[in-house]
Amino acid sequence: MNQCSIPCILRTGLICIFLAGFLFGCKDQNIVKHDYTEWKSYAGTKDGMRYSANDQITKQNVSQLKVAWTYSSGDKDSLNRSQNQCNPIVIDGVLYGTSPRLKLLALEADTGKEIWVFDPASEDESLKNEPLRYYKVNRGVAYWESSNGKDQRLFYNVGHKIYAIDASSGKPERTFGENGYVDLTKGLDRNFEGVRPFIVSTSPPIIYEDLLITGSRVAETADAAPGHIRAYDVMTGERKWIFHTIPHPGEKGYETWKDPEAYKKLGGANNWAGMSLDPQKGIVYVPTGSASGDFYGGYREGSNLFANSLVALNARTGAYVWHFQTVHHDLWDRDLSANPNLVDLKRDGKTTEAVAQITKQGYIFMFDRNTGEPIFEIQETPVSQNALPGEKPWPTQPIPVLPEPFARQRFEEQDVTTLSDSTHKVMLERYRQIKYKEMYAPPSKAGSWIFPGFDGGGEWGGAAVDPETQILYVNSSEIPWSMVMVDAPGRSDENGSTKSPGRSVYDMHCFACHGVDLKGNSAAFPSLVDIGNKYKPEEILQILNSGINMMPSFAHLRQQDKANVIRFLTGQDVKSDENASVSGGDSNKLKKEPASEPSQEGILAEVKYQMTGYNRFLDDQGYPGIKPPWGTLNAVNLNTGKLLWKVPLGEYQELTARGIPVTGTENYGGPVVTQGGLVFIAATKDSKIRAFDKDSGTVLWEAELPAPGYATPAVYEVNGKQYLVIACGGGKIGSISGDEYVAFALP
């Protein structure tokens, strides 16, 4: 099943030799297993378990939970739909988290009182007066301390920078990297010809010994940067190792890209969802996303390692240990979207050290974490080859026999919504306009259903696992999205007339999200019609350079291309022989230049087809066009692979009032399971946090939040008292924005 080219016996032997040599030569013989009474890392512990051994809050008393404290950073920006997805950490009674403007916060964990705030705008002049932009998303903070405990550092992401901050003072560590930070756009072993590529980081790095190991988020388009994994010295910021996720000549996996120059020009295969670490073995487990671009791969023939793979690396050296690719030659944006869970299974009277990886598809892939051998059978299943001209889909895709999926897998005609007869009729007609419904149907002009949708199924909130029972808890969105392909726009319109330069730039870079008519799709991809009435040209330039909401930065475009598209968007498009200028943005001026054809050099010229947009299947009231449940919380026994229970997660109160059973809502953010018998989760569109009985899925408690908590809670104890805290950032899927942390405790 594993796509490793080394024969199984040889591979296993090499792994055993590696493990024996590594463990006996281990630098720190005093490494202990994870302490589940603390919350010192993203997801609680470095094994990604999202589990708390604190048991003060129980099934019997959870109904008594009250707000213990709230903290507001004052940073919310509803106009730009600011968010806060941070899962904070707690060290020695101090809570460290981030705000919507990516300030780093130190709060008293039992009172919420502010201790100090680090504002990255104090370090970067360009951030001071800038509205909240695309890269203003942060999901957590990493903590390191020296062996003598005298040096304590926090590491967190601000766009393309990772800052090192003194934990006691909140001041940058000036000897780290470039005056306190490392620049992720540097040290990628590729020449970007003087242009800064779009590279940011949203999930926190992970610490092993004195190494800071990090992934990155890159663009979704064909010209994206590569997503190589890097490790830095925690003291100096020096790069200590790099693992090329798009292999270089002579490296493992190089042959899976048919183009021998792939490593020079292709991107993606990045870890944006975070990692998990076994500190005793010194192995870091790295889930990766798709190769760029997302939906047409005619220029990247092959299985494309190490995209869409769970990769195990030697945490000290970056050396390859094993991998498994969950999607070959991805054409559906099926990134591995959460860090995995490291769990010790109890099967047939034996203990097996395992790793469990959830997916957007609703599958759970499980492996022996030492060898990469599957725990349950994984079948390479033949899939449709009915692809667009020039595309070569991989002939099979891996499907785990067990565990049972935690999300529905197919969207059939009988599944179309029946909220009302009229709604059913309209949505059924729309359903029939999309031809293909198989999960791995290749992208086509006739259209395919992506179900679960592009955001899952499972997403970046991840799963929680109870180490005592080996039961995994995971939330899921169950909303269909449609994918329809069209010919990539050329330089002539449908009538054969030459397009203006601005229209050409738009069609090359903006068309897929905002549509041919500029009308957009949902709050995430808003209409650009009459955008010139909302923003001045220099403000549009700033958005192009910085990104906004779901839109990444396009700072890498030529100045001339930016000027062309701004003129097009503001109704001032001109022919190529006319002169025009646009100025402003970061104190830079776009020179007065003749409008001219956009640059079509490089990989973008090889993109033959584009998707028409990220289209959720919603009715005219905004409800999903499929029968409920639309969001669920699920329990899966990892020892047997059986789904134990599934319950709706989230509620539309107006539908409940009509007598419709609770439907669940689309959800973002993850669960926490506790020894007290509870699963805590916010994540829902209805701005609530809930506690579920972990044995039955029954709701035992719920509380209103000031904005949706699209984040994973943290559970911790201070001075003998247990707390539950959630970041209430909202901002996604049309929700209001917020800037508060809300903590709950027993009276």
Looking at residue 135, its pLDDT comes to 54
166 found inside a domain: yes
Task: Count Cβ atoms within 10 A of the Cβ of residue 650 and give its class: 0-12 exposed, 13-18 middle, 19 or more buried.
Answer: buried
Number of domains in the chain: 2
What gap in Å lies between CA 703 and CA 720, rounded to an integer?
A: 23
Q: How confident is the model at residue 196 (pLDDT cuts 50, 70, 90)?
A: confident
Per-residue pLDDT tens over the stretch 724-738: 999 999 999 999 999
Domain finish residue from 606, 637, 656: 606
**Which residue reads 């957009």 in tokens?**
520
Please indicate, yes or no, whether residues 204 and 244 belong to a single structural domain of this protein: yes
129 found inside a domain: yes
116 found inside a domain: yes
Looking at residue 539, its pLDDT comes to 82
Looking at residue 553, its pLDDT comes to 74
Please indicate, yes or no, whether residues 383 and 471 belong to a single structural domain of this protein: yes
Per-residue pLDDT tens over the stretch 131-171: 555 457 899 999 999 999 999 999 999 999 999 999 999 99
Q: What are phi and psi of 64, to 5 degrees?
A: -90, 0
Higher pLDDT, 544 or 449: 449
Tokens linked to 19: 């493990």
406 in Cβ contact with 474 (< 8 Å): yes
Per-residue pLDDT tens over the stretch 112-136: 999 999 999 999 877 766 655 545 7
What gap in Å lies between CA 362 and CA 453, rounded to an integer?
A: 10
Please indicate, yes or no, whether residues 647 and 598 belong to a single structural domain of this protein: no
Per-residue pLDDT tens over the stretch 19-39: 444 443 344 433 447 899 999
What gap in Å lies between CA 422 and CA 433, rounded to an integer?
A: 18
403 in Cβ contact with 364 (< 8 Å): yes
Please indicate, yes or no, whether residues 544 and 464 belong to a single structural domain of this protein: no
Per-residue pLDDT tens over the stretch 230-281: 999 999 999 999 999 999 999 999 999 999 999 999 999 999 999 999 999 9
pLDDT(603) > 90? no
Q: What are phi and psi of 603, to 5 degrees?
A: -65, -30
Pairing of β 485-487 and β 631-637: unpaired
What gap in Å lies between CA 307 and CA 246, rounded to an integer?
A: 8
430 found inside a domain: no
Higher pLDDT, 466 or 553: 466
Apex 648 CA angle, 645 and 649, nearest 5 = 115
Looking at residue 592, its pLDDT comes to 47
49: left (phi over 0), alpha (psi -120 to 50) or beta: alpha
pLDDT(314) > 50? yes
443 found inside a domain: no
DSSP 130: P
Looking at residue 599, its pLDDT comes to 52
- The DSSP bridge partners found for residue 637 are 471, 642
Looking at residue 501, its pLDDT comes to 80
Domain enclosing residue 594, as ranges: 489-606
14-28, 459-473, 509-523, range with the lowest pLDDT: 14-28
Q: How confident is the model at residue 574 (pLDDT cuts 50, 70, 90)?
A: low
Tokens linked to 107: 């709060």
715 in Cβ contact with 46 (< 8 Å): no
Looking at residue 1, its pLDDT comes to 41
Give the mean pLDDT of 626-655: 98
Q: How confident is the model at residue 95 (pLDDT cuts 50, 70, 90)?
A: very high
Per-residue pLDDT tens over the stretch 318-351: 999 999 999 999 999 999 999 999 999 998 889 9
**Which residue reads 């995430």 in tokens?**
524
**Which residue reads 């870890």 in tokens?**
271
Looking at residue 20, its pLDDT comes to 43
Please indicate, yes or no, whether residues 527 and 455 belong to a single structural domain of this protein: no
DSSP 588: -
What gap in Å lies between CA 508 and CA 402, rounded to an integer?
A: 42
**pTM of the shown model:** 0.90
- The count of residues in the chain is 747
417 found inside a domain: no
Per-residue pLDDT tens over the stretch 687-721: 999 999 999 999 999 999 999 999 999 999 999 99
Mean pLDDT of the chain: 90
Q: How confident is the model at residue 499 (pLDDT cuts 50, 70, 90)?
A: low
Q: How confident is the model at residue 7 (pLDDT cuts 50, 70, 90)?
A: very low
Per-residue pLDDT tens over the stretch 389-434: 999 999 999 999 999 999 999 999 999 999 999 999 999 999 999 9
Q: Which long-range contacts (CB under 8 A, 24 or more apart) does 532-536 make?
A: 532/569, 532/570, 532/571, 532/572, 536/584
Looking at residue 30, its pLDDT comes to 38
In Å, the largest CA–CA distance within the chain is 79
Please indicate, yes or no, whether residues 52 and 199 belong to a single structural domain of this protein: yes
637 found inside a domain: yes
Looking at residue 527, its pLDDT comes to 87
Helices (H), ranges, 490-649: 501-509, 511-514, 537-546, 559-569
Domain finish residue from 606, 640, 669: 606
**Which residue reads 């830079």 in tokens?**
588
356-370, 432-446, 509-523, range with the lowest pLDDT: 509-523
The full DSSP string for 60-122 is TTGGG-EEEEEEE-S---TTTT-------EEETTEEEEE-TT--EEEEETTT--EEEEE-GGG
Q: How confident is the model at residue 520 (pLDDT cuts 50, 70, 90)?
A: confident
Please indicate, yes or no, whether residues 634 and 712 belong to a single structural domain of this protein: yes
Higher pLDDT, 580 or 350: 350
241 in Cβ contact with 230 (< 8 Å): yes
Please indicate, yes or no, whether residues 381 and 497 belong to a single structural domain of this protein: no
Please indicate, yes or no, whether residues 590 and 660 belong to a single structural domain of this protein: no
pLDDT(578) > 60? no
Domain finish residue from 549, 575, 606: 606
What gap in Å lies between CA 722 and CA 744, rounded to an integer?
A: 9
The full DSSP string for 403-441 is SPPSS-----GGGB--SSHHHHHHHHHHHTT--B-STTP
514 in Cβ contact with 636 (< 8 Å): no
